[in-house]
Structure 1
Amino acid sequence: MTPDIGLVEHGPAVSLALPEAVGRALSAARIVEASPDPHTPGYWQLRAGNKVGAVAVDVPGGTPVTVRITPKLPVSRLFFLLGYSLDPRGSWWDGQVEVAEHRDLLPALAHAVERQVDRALRPGLLQGYRATEETSPVVRGRIREAEQIRRHFGATLPVEVAYDEFTTDVAENRILRAAVERLLHLPGVPREVRRRLRHQRGRLIDITPPVRGQLLPSWQPSRLNARYHCALNLARVVLNGASAEHAPGELRIDGFLFNMNKLFEDFVTVALREAFRDTGLTGRLQDAHHLDEAARIRMKPDFVLSGPDDVPLAVADAKYKAEKRDGYPDADLYQMLAYCTGLRLPEGHLVYAKGNAPHAEHRVKHAGIVIHQHALNLDQTPNGLLTDISTIAQLMHAGPHV
């Protein structure tokens, strides 16, 4: 059995010795493409897709199998895409977040989170007022009369009260503790980083620990919590839908996986929205529309540009896939044609992660519609990448609608 498996995003398949239950668990959880090797009994062919990160599969009575999937992009480039998607007008993604020399995503993320949590907590834990409702033996704050009658039928004690408490157990600190706890349970976090994370957990020991399945509290950026902003944005990455926890059959899978399709889509759409911010036009992400007059066929383009009267002016869709030797998939063109038809637009824009040419266009027969295909080179400087996005935005703005 191979206890530690290293794969590369969209890399070639590898054949490895694995228990059948582990192979089936990886396949069922859609972490990698997994199938029995037809040439070698006891071996499985594994191929990574668009998910990167690390997971561990518990083997009853044996050593857990760890699968690490390395992104094709350098981790520093990936962190730029990630940071810009979360906070395009901030600067935490531009040099403030150290990813050290880690080649894998999870060690780099754990290192960055620990450093930013340390910076946030160094002056002391943030304090604030927290609204509290509880049953108390004494009157504190105001009495919740309706609850008092409903729960205690007119009895004077105990008392249902509501009050604002000045405390360190606020949303910001709860989120940081939840992220630290999550990282401490993930496979692939380096020993030294894990040690420092335990130190940060000690600083947050009086903060309410996270409860599995319970929604995290919300927070709003302000001057008072400014030193927490970077740490909270990174904590959001760890906690918001990027963790893999599955229990197919008798085996448990736990880890952190990042969907590169979603990351690319988020970056392109947020960057396009920012490019139009001062133009008087509105960029909407995942804007819902219908293709048919009966409004039964729903469509949701990644990005729709609208004018002051809310009429669609341009549409774009992001595709994290490389152009193949015989061109981009025809299905993408059909999808964009449907968007242009439903939105009554003469042009549409498909934005790919990379390709053999920076731009191509197709004029649809008998429709008067032009579909543009753009290819972004992600492995370039942030300024170069944003310049390429700006060029696409200018083409969208300069379309026939002007």
Structure 2
Amino acid sequence: MTDAAPPVRLREGDDWSEWQLTPEQIVALDDSEHVQVRPSRRSGWCRLKARDRVGAARVGRGSAQVRLSVKPKVTVDRLLYLLGYAEEKWLYDGGPVEAATRTDLLPAVARAYTRAAQRALRQGVLLGYRETEATQPVLRGRLRTAAQMSRRPGLVLPLEVAYDEHTADIPENQLLLGAARRLLRVPGVDGPQRTALHALAARLDGVVPPVPGAPLPRWRRDRLNVRYHRPLALAELILGGASYELEDGRSVTVDGVMFRMWQVYEAFLARALGEALTRRAGGMYKAQDRDHFLATPRKYVLEPDLVHYLPLASGGRRAAAVVDAKYKRGFQRDDLYQMLAYCVRLGLTDGHLVYAAGRANVVRVPVVDSEVRLHRHVLDLSRPRRELEQSIEDLAQAVLEPRT
């Protein structure tokens, strides 16, 4: 498979680099918001820097098209572990990632997805019931009385009916097919992996994939679709990484898959640390908790990444710890103000900010007759998986027993 579009290969966190591109290609990259774009002193060149996304996509159309690739700072197998923990722990199975895919994210994601989907389909394609409305010469299902009277007043036939159809065209299969087709369009996924994805799509013949840019089909977890849970978690990540809502409210669709690393980090930390806290102290946790407001009545919603709750003897529950993930290189004062608001509103004397880089410390904020301690922790994502898991356990211990 050939591709005339020029490749632009960046790395998350790297400094500015210069690329020779046409004015149309530069505009396409700037409009995509995947990268930062600045002019260069050299004619026909521009300076590029990756934003907060990793992955691969074709940006632009026609002669303006560019093949963009943003490599994550962490290794591919580590990112797969973060993605899997954020959605379904099955994704990282502890086995080695082949050297051929270790440095390229999307082929690794495609391989993980294909393997999971193939396992799910070993017992056959899942069938389900879907309500269908149709015009029939005989009664099937139930008569749609209102439609019959408005469309054919006084006529006996044909009939406007609604019935449940046993079909493969259900949300679960629509998501599987949509993810397979999306990966087939990603730059860098070719050879045997493309063959496997084509075979997967052929298994889902008769299924209508999701419309690009439209809301994804909704499905419910139950005992009938349990074998689909694993590939569906990754399918939603893949399809979710193919569309974005920009700051000005516009929705865009990309020809590829890009992951926002700060979202991956927040989801991973909330689930991994939340589970560690409940194992150690009991209670429950809520990720992206929107139950609290800065002012009354219910004004200015607060949304900490993690709140750990403990039960009260009188019933109900109380907030015992609040944590916010910060996928940043350095500390910012706004982070402290945000965490202070969380602590004051939740009635806590300790708040925890967990950064992906930097140095740990504690900021003490005087309040009436007391103080609030804002703990700044660092979680090194580049550490081996077992060490990273131990870091989560150590972090849970620090949250439960803050240093005074």
Q: TM-score band, normalised by the shorter chain?
A: 0.7 to 0.9
Measured after TM superposition, the shift of residue 107 of structure 1 is 1.8
Give secondary structure in 1 for the equivalent of 2:37: strand
Q: What RMSD, in angstroms, separates the aligned Cα atoms of the two structures?
A: 2.9
Cα distance change of structure 1 residues 218 and 295 upon mapping to structure 2, 3 Å threshold: closer
Distance in 1, matches of 2:97 and 2:230, equals 12
State the match for 1:393 in structure 2. Answer: 396
Distance in 2, matches of 1:183 and 1:348, equals 41
Once the two structures are superposed, residues 69-105 of structure 1 have per-residue CA deviations (whole angstroms, 9 ceiling, x without a partner) of: 0001111111111111112xx5343247967631122
Q: Is 119-128 or 262-271 further displaced after alignment?
A: 119-128
Given the alignment, which residue of 305, 325, 331 partners 1:302? 305
For structure 1, the 5+ residue unaligned runs are none
State the match for 1:71 in structure 2. Answer: 72
Q: Aligned AA for 1:290? A: F
State the match for 2:361 in structure 1. Answer: 360
Distance in 2, matches of 1:97 and 1:243, equals 30
Cα distance change of structure 1 residues 234 and 296 upon mapping to structure 2, 3 Å threshold: closer
Asked if 1:348 is matched to 2:355, the reply is no
Cα distance change of structure 1 residues 148 and 252 upon mapping to structure 2, 3 Å threshold: closer
8 A contact 1:11–1:47 mirrored in 2: yes
8 A contact 1:285–1:304 mirrored in 2: yes
Once the two structures are superposed, residues 227-258 of structure 1 have per-residue CA deviations (whole angstroms, 9 ceiling, x without a partner) of: 32222222111112444699xxxx99632211
Distance in 1, matches of 2:219 and 2:155, equals 37
Asked if 1:317 is matched to 2:324, the reply is yes
Asked if 1:152 is matched to 2:155, the reply is no
Cα distance change of structure 1 residues 355 and 163 upon mapping to structure 2, 3 Å threshold: same
Cα distance change of structure 1 residues 176 and 297 upon mapping to structure 2, 3 Å threshold: closer
Q: How does 1:271-290 map to 2 (within 5 A)?
A: 271-277=272-278, 279-288=281-290, 289-290=292-293
State the match for 1:167 in structure 2. Answer: 167
Given the alignment, which residue of 32, 48, 51 partners 1:49? 51
Distance in 2, matches of 1:245 and 1:295, equals 26
Measured after TM superposition, the shift of residue 369 of structure 1 is 0.6
Q: How does 1:228-247 map to 2 (within 5 A)?
A: 228-243=228-243
8 A contact 1:99–1:112 mirrored in 2: no
Measured after TM superposition, the shift of residue 375 of structure 1 is 0.8
Paired residues, number: 386
Cα distance change of structure 1 residues 226 and 284 upon mapping to structure 2, 3 Å threshold: closer
Q: How does 1:79-158 map to 2 (within 5 A)?
A: 79-87=80-88, 90-95=89-94, 101-102=100-101, 103-158=103-158
Q: Aligned AA for 1:143? A: L
Distance in 2, matches of 1:372 and 1:242, equals 36
Distance in 2, matches of 1:148 and 1:67, equals 54
Asked if 1:13 is matched to 2:13, the reply is no
For structure 2, the 5+ residue unaligned runs are 247-251
Once the two structures are superposed, residues 284-314 of structure 1 have per-residue CA deviations (whole angstroms, 9 ceiling, x without a partner) of: 2222333345654443221222333343222
Q: Aligned AA for 2:294? A: L
Distance in 1, matches of 2:346 and 2:375, equals 16
8 A contact 1:245–1:253 mirrored in 2: no
Q: Aligned AA for 1:94? A: D
Measured after TM superposition, the shift of residue 351 of structure 1 is 0.6
State the match for 1:291 in structure 2. Answer: 294
Cα distance change of structure 1 residues 235 and 298 upon mapping to structure 2, 3 Å threshold: closer
Q: TM-score, normalised by structure 1?
A: 0.86
Once the two structures are superposed, residues 113-158 of structure 1 have per-residue CA deviations (whole angstroms, 9 ceiling, x without a partner) of: 2222223223432223333333322211222333333443353222
8 A contact 1:6–1:68 mirrored in 2: yes
Q: TM-score, normalised by structure 2?
A: 0.85
Give secondary structure in 1 for the equivalent of 2:265: helix
Measured after TM superposition, the shift of residue 25 of structure 1 is 2.5
Cα distance change of structure 1 residues 183 and 313 upon mapping to structure 2, 3 Å threshold: same
Asked if 1:338 is matched to 2:345, the reply is no
8 A contact 2:288–2:303 mirrored in 1: yes
State the match for 1:182 in structure 2. Answer: 182
Asked if 1:208 is matched to 2:215, the reply is no
Distance in 2, matches of 1:86 and 1:206, equals 28
Cα distance change of structure 1 residues 63 and 364 upon mapping to structure 2, 3 Å threshold: closer
Q: Aligned AA for 1:392? A: L
- Percent identity, aligned pairs only, is 41
Once the two structures are superposed, residues 332-364 of structure 1 have per-residue CA deviations (whole angstroms, 9 ceiling, x without a partner) of: 2222122222322111000111334xx421212
Measured after TM superposition, the shift of residue 22 of structure 1 is 1.9
Asked if 1:22 is matched to 2:25, the reply is yes
Give secondary structure in 1 for the equivalent of 2:19: strand
8 A contact 2:25–2:65 mirrored in 1: no
Q: Aligned AA for 1:166? A: H
State the match for 1:199 in structure 2. Answer: 199
8 A contact 1:133–1:163 mirrored in 2: yes
